[in-house]
């Protein structure tokens, strides 16, 4: 599986003086220092993914959900997707929580469940649900939320992928040990609820869910009581006894719900609950034992087809004898029978005591005693035999760590150490330590999961051999991935040194090997084809490691061969994986057409074969190639959100989509929206990977860069310093990424016009990046331009010009002549030429910038900067009419897509000078608006404010 990754950091570009373009940002996918791709323009800015394929958020309905079409309804904030089932108390829906981006189960109670007797029934049920929400236990279905909808109570609960215990029991024959194990788990859930002061009152197999991994979880605690019975029970008053005439099946399925009657399911209710509705934790114990008896023996514990007869037998304590041929041991029947005693005092004092009794398997005890006796008789030899007997079930699972020998062991550590030392980088020891920590953590997780998967089948018996095979195949894939990454890291040299930690931290999640549904895609049935698929996936693992390590040329060569082999094989899931990686590499290399074609095909193949995670990654990345058509982009976003939801809404997948949306918004000039989307990406990645992870840091840096183009100066400053501090922790003080973070701080200091303070940050950034990436690094243009901005603002034009020219040469080589990065370089050189008095050069350079922006996107908002410079140059050459037209267009762009306040003020003052006496009233108004901005922060703009005041004092005239 290709690890989900997106984007390089955003390194803000400088602004220089008041007519400079706003900062730029390369938002690319792949590694932190990859050349940015040609960015598509235009993007949607919606960042909260609704469920399914809909782009529209449905209005809340005032009617109860339609069972026929639940997907059109909101219950509270939850989007109803489809119906899961219904029962006596209500209907259960599959729903989506847009706030926490997760699937939930919504139980919408029937009106009779909370309004049958008293008006405050809903309030009491809500209180019960709120009490449950405070209980967290692995054997209890979690309650997340509760509320009312159309006068009915709803409860939002954990969505369990599995079946009810009743269905599990009916599905196939199970040994009594398997049945007892699941009931013990459910009993632990009941015991936890009792400890929290909660009583279930309707425990039965239908109210226990069994997940696909064999975990039992109790649900519907306390939600089956009507308000009259609850109030009576709490005040110690009796309620009317149950006297309904029920059919045989009603004993098992139908709760008693009529007014004045106690709640529960008759077959499992303790006698005291039948009589007056009062019951406590010992009543749950009775229901538990009645359910366990039925599960073990295939019959109810008491005789009687009618409810009244059944109740009479339970009051007498006449537990039925087991059916003939039962293999359930007698000790277990004795333990259950005590729990079925007619009076609470005769039962066990607690669920814990009952569970302890159910754990006293005499055969296990005697086996242990036999082993001890053999040890005494045969001494050391017999001790060895006893050890083997006691551990023979665990032995197959004790070799997990040995499986990593030759993959990640002392010899491979030594190979990495030699490679890092050979780079002669001063930060090599520290970076090697960080890489080793990541690989160690992955190896620990792999060993843990291998042991867990093995024991689930070989020791505990919770998991079938088929599922074990699926999980082991996944773990072998992860083992192959680790082998590939370590192999790539063992070849680390000066060129790839800076990206070594990327490769280590982008290893795929081990936890995916517990997702049985996803693993059921499996491998081809043919043994020969299966081996070819495994070899192909091993090759894809290596190629992914090369991409993560920034070795794009080598990765590209190997990937093309793998694509040919994948198409020849004809196994569509692995072809989808190869194409998704092809699309990712296309984005990294700036080949948008290649990326779009590969990602579209990957998405369609993955959807056809239900390869959900690959489909989600392909769709999220595909969004970045669709922004030239708003309709197509909107459809692509809907596809991505639907695919991500189908894949389980993993935080990293959602972060990938938010990064794509932010990238598009950034290049469209919607910087506030871009900052918001990058912020969402950062929060999701922190949730998935932790705060000190490269992907989290990457999104935070992107957010800071986008935010730096807004007027939120204080927020930007705090975020940039956080990024710098975090980068030093994650990457080390001398890493190139620390250089990028220092560059961002230096750029921000230029915004605050603290130019002398910015110089050391910017020079450090250049030095570190040159040392790590060489003098032709694709991202070196950012600190070069930022340093030039600071020097120009200090009047040191001669020092600034070679820096600007070098930045232009780098961006032309990387992006070509029609890219916003290159356009911004020309704009900055035009401004410098104007400052130096080279007016005609300024005109030509500014026009080159405008043309480049226009070729990339019509009316690109960043054209306002070179247009302002061009207008001032035309005015200086006496071409007043041209200057007015140029500056009017610049002002229109500034007003339509507002950015930094100083840029708008500069354009206003420039147009005021061009208008002069021809439109003196408007000229004065524009100048006054500019002056208002400068005077609002006089400590920053003293010189600019004085210049405007001087011009206004002489009166508007047609001269610069």
Reduced to 3 states (helix: H, G, I; strand: E, B; else coil), residue 224 is coil
Residue 743's closest CA among 21, 251, 26? 26
Q: In what order do the strands lie in the sheet with 216-218?
A: 162-164, 208-211, 216-218
Label residue 909 exposed, middle or buried (CB < 10 Å: 0-12, 13-18, 19+): buried
Q: Quickly count helices (H) and strands (E) in the chain.
A: 38, 9
CA dihedral angle for residue 903, residue 905, residue 911, residue 914, rounded to 10 degrees: -110
Q: What is the C-alpha to C-alpha distance for residues 878 and 876, in angstroms, rounded to an integer? A: 5
Q: Which of 97, 145, 202, 220 is catalytic?
A: 202
Q: What is the C-alpha to C-alpha distance for residues 714 and 186, in angstroms, rounded to an integer? A: 53
Residues 6 or more apart whose Cβ sits within 8 Å of residue 388:
395
Q: What is the C-alpha to C-alpha distance for residues 827 and 221, in angstroms, rounded to an integer? A: 68
Residues 6 or more apart whose Cβ sits within 8 Å of residue 593:
586
- State the DSSP H helix or E strand holding residue 712, giving kind and residue range, or none if neither: none
825 included as an active-site residue: no
Q: What is the C-alpha to C-alpha distance for residues 366 and 634, in angstroms, rounded to an integer? A: 68
N residues, the chain: 960
Residues 6 or more apart whose Cβ sits within 8 Å of residue 631:
none
Cα 121–Cα 125–Cα 265 angle in degrees, nearest 5: 95
* Per-position DSSP letters for 728-797, written without gaps between them: HHHH-TTSHHHHHHHHHHHHHHHHTT-HHHHHHHHHHHHHHHHHHH-TT-TTTHHHHHHHHHHHHHTT-H
**The pair of three-digit structure tokens given for residue 806, joined into one six-digit string:** 């070098």
Residue 35 has φ and ψ, to the nearest 5°, of -60, 135
For residue 158, list its beta bridge partners. Answer: 104
- State the DSSP H helix or E strand holding residue 303, giving kind and residue range, or none if neither: none
Start-to-end Cα distance in the chain: 63
* 869 neighbors 19 (Cβ within 8 angstroms): yes
Reduced to 3 states (helix: H, G, I; strand: E, B; else coil), residue 98 is coil
* 244 neighbors 261 (Cβ within 8 angstroms): yes
CA dihedral angle for residue 838, residue 839, residue 845, residue 846, rounded to 10 degrees: 140
Q: What is the C-alpha to C-alpha distance for residues 338 and 335, in angstroms, rounded to an integer? A: 6
- State the DSSP H helix or E strand holding residue 420, giving kind and residue range, or none if neither: helix 410-422
| CB atoms near residue 133 (< 10 Å) | 16
Cα 358–Cα 360–Cα 363 angle in degrees, nearest 5: 125
| CB atoms near residue 387 (< 10 Å) | 12
Q: What is the C-alpha to C-alpha distance for residues 898 and 885, in angstroms, rounded to an integer? A: 20
Rg value, the chain, Cα = 35
107 is in an annotated binding site: yes
Residue 83's closest CA among 67, 65, 64? 67
Q: What is the C-alpha to C-alpha distance for residues 754 and 744, in angstroms, rounded to an integer? A: 14
Q: In what order do the strands lie in the sheet with 78-86?
A: 74-75, 78-86, 90-97, 102-109, 152-158, 143-149
Q: What separation in angstroms does the CA of 500 have from each of 419, 504, 556, 774, 859?
A: 11, 7, 18, 16, 40
For residue 83, list its beta bridge partners. Answer: 93
Active site residues: 202
In the annotated binding site, the residues are 107
């Amino acid at each position: 599986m290709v690890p989900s990754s997106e984007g390089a950091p955003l390194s803000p570009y400088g602004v220089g003086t008041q007519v400079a373009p706003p900062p730029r940002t390369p938002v690319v996918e792949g590694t932190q220092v990859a050349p940015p791709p040609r960015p598509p323009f235009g993007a949607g800015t919606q960042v909260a993914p609704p469920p399914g394929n809909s782009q529209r958020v449905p209005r809340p309905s005032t009617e109860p959900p339609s069972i026929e079409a639940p997907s059109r309804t909101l219950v509270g904030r939850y989007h109803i997707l489809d119906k899961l089932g219904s029962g006596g108390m209500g209907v259960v829906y599959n729903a989506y929580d847009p706030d926490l981006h997760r699937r939930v189960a919504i139980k919408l109670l029937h009106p009779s469940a909370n309004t049958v007797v008293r008006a405050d029934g809903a309030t009491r049920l809500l209180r019960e649900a709120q009490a449950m929400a405070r209980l967290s236990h692995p054997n209890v279905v979690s309650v997340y939320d509760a509320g009312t909808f159309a006068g009915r109570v709803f409860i939002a609960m954990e969505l369990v992928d599995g079946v009810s215990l009743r269905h599990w029991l009916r599905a196939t024959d199970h040994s009594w040990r398997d049945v007892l194990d699941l009931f013990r788990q459910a009993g632990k859930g009941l015991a936890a609820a009792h400890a929290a002061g909660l009583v279930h009152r309707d425990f039965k197999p239908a109210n226990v869910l069994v997940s696909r991994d064999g975990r039992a979880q109790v649900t519907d605690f306390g939600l089956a009581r009507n308000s009259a019975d609850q109030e009576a029970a709490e005040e110690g008053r009796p309620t009317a006894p149950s006297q309904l005439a029920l059919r045989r099946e009603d004993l098992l399925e139908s709760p008693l719900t009529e007014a004045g009657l106690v709640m529960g399911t008759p077959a499992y209710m303790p006698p005291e609950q039948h009589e007056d509705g009062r019951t406590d934790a010992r009543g749950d114990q009775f229901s538990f034992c009645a359910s366990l008896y039925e599960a073990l023996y295939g019959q109810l514990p008491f005789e009687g087809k009618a409810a009244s007869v059944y109740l009479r037998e339970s009051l007498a304590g006449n537990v039925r004898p087991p059916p003939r041929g039962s293999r359930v041991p007698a000790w277990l029947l004795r333990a259950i029978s005590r729990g079925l005693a007619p009076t609470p005092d005769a039962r066990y004092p607690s669920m814990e005591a009952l569970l302890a009794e159910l754990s006293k398997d005499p055969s296990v005890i005697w086996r242990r005693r036999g082993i001890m006796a053999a040890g005494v008789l045969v001494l050391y030899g017999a001790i060895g035999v006893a050890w083997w007997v006691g551990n023979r079930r665990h032995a197959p699972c004790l070799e997990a760590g040995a499986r990593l020998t030759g993959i990640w062991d002392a010899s491979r550590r030594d190979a990495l150490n030699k490679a890092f030392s050979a780079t002669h980088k001063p930060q090599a020891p520290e970076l090697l330590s960080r890489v080793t920590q990541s690989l160690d953590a992955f190896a620990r997780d792999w060993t843990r999961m291998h042991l867990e998967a093995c024991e689930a089948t070989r020791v505990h018996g919770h998991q079938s051999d088929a599922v074990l095979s699926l999980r082991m195949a996944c773990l072998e894939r992860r083992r192959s991935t680790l082998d590939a990454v370590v192999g790539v890291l063992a070849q680390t040299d000066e060129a790839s040194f800076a990206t070594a930690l990327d490769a280590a931290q982008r290893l795929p999640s081990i936890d995916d090997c517990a997702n049985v549904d996803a693993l059921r895609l499996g491998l081809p049935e043919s043994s020969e084809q299966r081996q070819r698929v495994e070899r192909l996936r091993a090759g894809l693992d290596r190629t992914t490691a090369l991409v993560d390590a920034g070795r794009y040329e080598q990765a590209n060569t190997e990937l093309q061969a793998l694509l040919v082999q994948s198409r020849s094989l004809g196994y569509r899931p692995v072809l989808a994986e190869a194409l998704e990686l092809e699309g990712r590499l296309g984005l990294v290399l700036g080949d948008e057409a290649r990326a779009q074609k590969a990602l579209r095909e990957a998405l369609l193949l993955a959807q056809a074969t239900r390869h959900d995670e690959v489909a989600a990654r392909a769709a999220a990345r595909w969004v970045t190639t669709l922004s030239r058509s708003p309709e197509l982009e909107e459809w692509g976003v809907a596809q991505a959100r639907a695919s991500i939801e189908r894949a389980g809404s993993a935080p990293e997948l959602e972060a990938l989509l938010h990064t794509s949306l932010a990238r598009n918004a950034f290049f469209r000039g919607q910087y506030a929206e871009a900052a918001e989307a990058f912020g969402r990406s950062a929060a999701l990645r922190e949730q998935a990977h932790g705060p000190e992870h490269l992907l989290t840091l990457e999104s935070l840096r992107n957010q800071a860069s986008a935010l730096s183009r807004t007027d939120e100066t204080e927020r930007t400053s705090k975020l940039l310093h956080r990024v710098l501090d975090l980068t030093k922790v994650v990457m080390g003080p001398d890493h190139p990424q620390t250089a990028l973070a220092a560059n961002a701080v230096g750029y921000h200091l230029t915004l605050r016009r603290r130019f002398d303070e910015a110089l050391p940050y910017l020079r450090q950034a250049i030095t570190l990046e040159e040392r790590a990436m060489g003098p032709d690094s694709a991202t070196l243009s950012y600190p070069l331009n930022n340093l030039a901005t600071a020097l120009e603002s200090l009047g040191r034009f001669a020092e600034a010009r070679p820096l600007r020219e070098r930045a232009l040469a780098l961006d032309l080589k990387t992006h070509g002549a029609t890219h916003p990065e290159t356009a911004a370089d020309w704009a900055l050189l035009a401004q410098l030429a104007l400052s130096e008095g080279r007016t005609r050069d300024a005109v030509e350079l500014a026009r080159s910038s405008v043309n480049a922006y226009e070729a990339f996107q019509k009316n690109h908002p960043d054209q306002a900067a070179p247009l302002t410079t061009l207008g001032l140059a035309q005015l200086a050459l006496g071409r007043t009419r041209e200057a007015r037209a140029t500056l009017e267009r610049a002002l229109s762009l500034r007003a339509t897509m507002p950015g930094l306040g100083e840029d708008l003020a500069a354009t206003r003052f420039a147009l005021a000078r061009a208008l002069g006496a021809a439109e003196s009233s408007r000229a004065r108004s524009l100048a006054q608006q500019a002056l208002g901005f400068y005077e609002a922060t006089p400590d920053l703009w003293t010189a600019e404010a004085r210049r405007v005041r001087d011009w206004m004092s002489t009166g508007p005239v047609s001269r610069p």
